[in-house]
Amino acid sequence: MKRIGIDVGGTNTDAVLIDGETVLSSIKFPTTADVMKGVVDAIRHVTASQPASASQVDAVMIGTTHFTNAVVERARLERVGAIRIAMPAGASLPPMVDWPDDLREAVDPLSFMVEGGHEYDGRPLVPLDRDAVRDAAMRIRDAGIQSVGITALFSPLTTECEVEAAEIVRSVMPDARITLSHTLGRIGLLERENVTLLNAALQGLGQRTVDAFAKALKESGVHAPFYLTQNDGTVVLAEVAAANPVYSFASGPTNSMRGAAFLTGLKEAMVIDVGGTTSDIGCLVGGFPREANNVVEVGGVRTLFRMPDLLPMALGGGTIIDAEKGTIGPRSVGYRITSEALVFGGSTLTTTDIAVAAGLVEIGDRDRVSHLDQTLVSTLLKRIEQMVEDSVDRMKTSADGVELIAVGGGSFLIPEKLNGVSEVLRVEHAGVANALGAAMAQVSGEVDQVFSEMSRDAAIAEAEKLARQRAIEAGAQPGTISLLDTEDIPIAYLPGDARRVRVRVVGDIAFNEKREVA
C-alpha cells in the first residue's frame, strides 16, 4: 500500500512516500505562510520521481499544528455556547473561570448553568431542567452561535444528562456542532469542561482545515482518502478529526515517536525529537507514546483528557544563542534559519552554527563560523548536553540506562554519550521521522469510562466492544483490530462493583471501503 505522510510544523514541512515499509522519496523544506501551498508542493515533490505506470497512492496522512496554534495565538476560534448541567452544586465557579483573559475574550462564551447532573455514586443530583436547556439552546441559536459544549456533573459515570440535553439542543438547533464532555474528558468537572469548550471553539476551524486539505490534495492530483494524525500516534478519518480537533494537540511529537519506532523496530525506548524551535522527549511503551495521566495545560488552559506524556525543551536547530551571556534560547529564528543563521549568511548565532563550528554537521558555509572561539563552542555544547541529560532524567521511571532515539532535523545536537542513556541511536530518514510516523500510522479506538452493576470481565468486554466500534468509525478495518492495552481500577466509594476501565485498540486502515461516519 502506497501512502504519503505529511507533517506541517512551525519551522519545517516534511513529506514522505512509502510503499509498504519502503521509503520511496522524502522532502523537508521550510514551512511557508501559505500552508496549503506547501502541502501541494510537498506532495508533488515526493510523487514526481514515480513512473507513470506506478500504482496510485492509497491514502494521505497529514499532521498539522493548526489547532494548537489557534489556541496559542488566540485566533480563528469560534464563539461557543456553554451549557453546564451541575446546579445547584456547581454554581460557585462559572465556565472558563480559569482561562487566560485573552483566550476567554477570543472565545466569548455564552454560558448557562442549569439544574441536573449526578452524584459520584451515580444517583441523580436533581432532575434535569429540560426547560432551562431548551431556553439556553434558543438563546444560543438567536446569538448566531453554531458550536455548543455540554458538560454534566460526573458524566463519565452516567452520560444520561448530557445525551438528553444534546437531543434537546438539536431539536432547537438541527445543524449545531455539539461536543459532549464525556466523549473527551475524565472525572474532574472544570478540566473536562475546559477541553469540551476548546473542542467546540475549534470545530469550525476543523471543518475549514479538512476542506482546505481536500482542495490541496485535489490540486496536487492525488485522489485518495486522507486522514489526520492524532496525539496517541494513530490517524483518524479527516471527517472524524474535524469533529474532535483537540485530539490533534501534540500530534507532531507523537508522529516522530511512531516514526522512531518504525525506523528502529524498538517498542520500548525514549525518543527525543529535535525540531527547529523546540525538542520534545517522550517514551515508547509497546511501540506507542506513553500517555500522560495528569492535568496538561494547553495554551494556558488546564485539561484532563488523552494527551501524550511529553517534556518540551527550548532547544532546536534555530535556537538563538547569546554569545556574551553564554545562554541558549528560549527564542528561536524558526523557519527563518535559512536566512538568519550565520552559516547561511545571516547575523544571528544559533545552535546550528555551534554544531557546524564543532564539526558535528555540514550545513551551509562553515567558513562563516570559523571565527567562533572554540572554548565558547565547547562550553555551549556542554550546556546542551546537560539540558538533554536533565530532561531525560526527568522522564525516566528507573535509574537504569535507557536507549534514546534521536530524530528530527536538529538531531545532530544530541551528543553521542549521555549520562543515564545506554545508547544514542541514529537512523536513516531520522530528519523526516514525523512524516514517516504519520504515513505508517494505524487507526485507534479508545474507551476510558466507569462501568457499574456488572462483573469485571463484563465491564472489560463492554469497553473493548465500544473501543472496537470507535476504531471502525474512525476508519479501521474490522478484521485487523487488536487489543493494545487494558487497565481497570476498582472504585471502592461507588456502589455496584464500579470500576474505571480504559481499553485501547488499534487496527489497519480500511482502504477504499465506503463507511458511514457518525
Q: Classify residue 380: in a domain, yes or no.
A: no
Q: Identify whether residues 154 and 197 lie together within a single domain.
A: yes
Residues 88 and 200 grouped into a single domain: yes
The answer to whether residue 347 is domain-embedded is no
Residues 200 and 134 in one domain: yes
Asked if 113 and 148 sit in the same domain, the reply is: yes
- pLDDT given at position 514: 41
- C-alpha cell at position 516: 458511514
Indicate if 39 and 27 belong to the same structural domain. yes
Which of 224, 242, 267 is the last residue before a domain boundary?
267
Helices (DSSP H) in 112-250: which residue ranges?
130-142, 160-172, 189-220, 238-243
Residue 487 in any domain: the answer is: yes
Tell me how many domains the chain contains: 3
Same domain for 503 and 450: yes
Task: Give a three-class secondary structure readout of 412-468.
Answer: HHCCCCCCCEEEEECCCCHHHHHHHHHHCCCEEEEEEEEECCCCHHHHHHHHHHHHH
Residue type, 2: K
Instruction: For residue 308, tell me if it sits in a domain.
Output: no
Q: Is residue 369 part of a domain?
A: no
The answer to whether residue 514 sits within a structural domain is no
Among 183, 207, 231, the domain-final residue is 207
Indicate if 108 and 228 belong to the same structural domain. no
Same domain for 215 and 151: no
Last residue of a domain, one of 155, 187, 207: 207
Report the C-alpha gap between 265 and 366 in whole angstroms: 35
Q: Residue 36: its pLDDT value, please? A: 81
**Structural domain span for residue 57:** 2-70+208-267
C-alpha 65 chain-centroid distance: 8
**For the domain that residue 15 is a member of, what is the CATH number?**
3.30.420.40
Q: For residue 367, with 0-12 CB atoms within 10 Å meaning exposed, 13-18 middle and 19 or more buried, which class applies?
A: exposed
Q: Based on the fold, state whether residues 146 and 229 are members of the same structural domain.
A: no
Q: What phi-psi label fits residue 474: left (phi over 0), alpha (psi between -120 and 50 degrees) or beta? A: alpha
C-alpha cell at 326: 553564554
Quick one: 192 and 226 in the same domain?
Answer: no
Same domain, 90 and 200: yes
Distance CA(287)–CA(518), nearest Å, equals: 29
On whether both 177 and 81 belong to a single domain, the answer is yes
Question: pLDDT digit of tens for each residue in the chain (518 aa)?
Answer: 789 999 887 667 889 999 888 889 988 877 777 778 888 888 888 888 777 667 788 889 998 888 888 898 898 999 999 999 999 988 889 999 999 999 999 999 999 999 999 987 778 899 999 999 999 999 999 999 999 999 999 888 788 999 999 999 999 999 999 999 998 888 789 999 999 999 999 999 999 999 999 998 888 888 888 899 988 888 888 888 899 999 998 888 899 999 999 999 999 999 999 988 889 999 999 888 998 877 888 889 999 888 899 998 889 999 999 988 888 988 888 778 889 999 999 999 999 999 999 999 999 999 999 999 999 999 999 999 999 999 999 999 888 999 999 998 899 999 999 999 999 999 888 889 999 999 988 888 888 877 888 899 999 999 999 999 989 988 889 999 999 889 898 887 777 788 888 899 999 888 754 443 33
Q: What residues form DSSP beta bridges with 450?
A: 500
* Strand 421-425 relative to strand 402-407, pairing: parallel
Helix, strand, coil fractions of the chain, as percent rounded to 5: 35, 30, 35
The answer as to whether 408 is a domain residue is no
Residue written as grid cell 519551522: 11
Alpha carbon distance 240, 254 (integer Å) = 19
Which of 401-412 are b and which e, b meaning 16 or more Cβ less than 10 Å from the residue's Cβ? Answer: ebbbbbbbbbbb
pTM for this entry:
0.84
The CATH number that applies at residue 198 is 3.40.50
**Bridge partners of 6?**
15, 62
Q: Is 363 contained in some domain?
A: no
| Residue 234 in grid coordinates | 494513530
